[in-house]
Amino acid sequence: MDLTTHYMGLELTHPIVASASPLSKDIIGMQRLENAGAAAIVMYSLFEEQIQQEATALENLMTAGADSFAESLSYFPDPDQYHSGTDQYLELIHRARKQLHIPIIASLNGISNTGWVDHARLMQDAGAHAIELNVYYLPTDSSLSGQMMEQRYIDTVRAVKSVVRIPVALKISPYFSSVGHMAHQLDEAGADALVLFNRFYQPDFDIDRLMLQTDLQLSEAHEIRLPLLWLAVLHGRLNASLGATTGVQTAVEVVKYLLAGADVVMTTSSLLRNDPEHLGVLRDGLVEWMRDKQYESVSEMRGAMSQQRVANPELLDRANYIRTISGYDGNT
């Protein structure tokens, strides 16, 4: 059985990748992920200094009553515990390249043009096989239009692509007016992969202490549906590779994401909830399903349920909405 896949030019032995998380915060964690069978590792994000300032601005905004923030806010630097500064990050890339055999994808969360460009170049020079840009701009200034925000994403891709030779992936949110159009624009701007989707975090209220709670909830399997939909719609329509992230708990989600058209399927919550060795469970489950359905390769099954290939593509759009709500039978 052939599990190999290509992801933005990287050849991977199978499609299951460890996404950015504290599991890659040191070389021991990264080795454990490799030994457990990760096909590639996306390292935890290096956050640009300026984001710290943005976090402060956002904190002010939170106390002013805003209602939704990127999950990425919750992993803003707690320097002692998690993020460790540019030099240590680059040193970790360097060590990982020397000691590991799988592709290492560095992750960058920048804010300024120079921040993106300088850090991306440093990551490349340290030996990263590729870079994932975790792009999140919060339009706190309400004079910023949607179009201006979108342009920032495009400019970021262009700026980074103009200074590095290695592939560049973009981990994006689903909150664009037209996700498909945006994906095409990012593709045209040169993104080598799109990772769908950045998981968003909504703060909760502690009504005893009258404080905002910023705890991070791990994902659940039902959360795959939004990325699944867009992967199915975008498969076969872009030059960029497609990465799936959010909601993978078992091999079922891995299979679904591949059928939708993902080139790789990423997971963090399942590894934090179980342990990195859960990667083997996911891989074995995929193999078992493929054997059962008589698929001989991942490339054969990829996109088999994408919008272009599924027998009833209308179920992916508005018709499904109408059918779903009118078909509710009160049982769930």
Shortest Å distance, C-beta 42 to ligand FMN: 7
Q: Which is nearer to ligand FMN, 243 or 295 (CB)?
A: 243
Shortest Å distance, C-beta 248 to ligand FMN: 5
Residues making contact with ligand FMN (CB under 6 A): 19-22, 44-45, 75, 107, 134, 171, 199, 216, 218-219, 245-248, 267-269, 272
Q: Which is nearer to ligand FMN, 23 or 232 (CB)?
A: 23
Cβ(77)–Cβ(180) below 8 Å: no
Q: Which is nearer to ligand FMN, 264 or 307 (CB)?
A: 264
Cβ(156)–Cβ(133) below 8 Å: yes
The kind and range of the H/E element at 201 are: strand 200-201
Shortest Å distance, C-beta 323 to ligand FMN: 28
Shortest Å distance, C-beta 150 to ligand FMN: 20
- Give 3-state DSSP helix, strand, coil % of the chain, rounded to 5: 45, 15, 40
Q: Which is nearer to ligand FMN, 20 or 262 (CB)?
A: 20
Q: Rounded CA gap, 185 and 238, in Å?
A: 10
Counting Cβ atoms within 10 Å, is residue 53 exposed (0-12), middle (13-18) or buried (19+)?
A: exposed
Shortest Å distance, C-beta 302 to ligand FMN: 19
Q: Which is nearer to ligand FMN, 77 or 127 (CB)?
A: 77
Q: How many CB atoms lie within 10 A of CB 1?
A: 11
Helices 113-126 and 85-99, axial angle in degrees (round to 10): 30
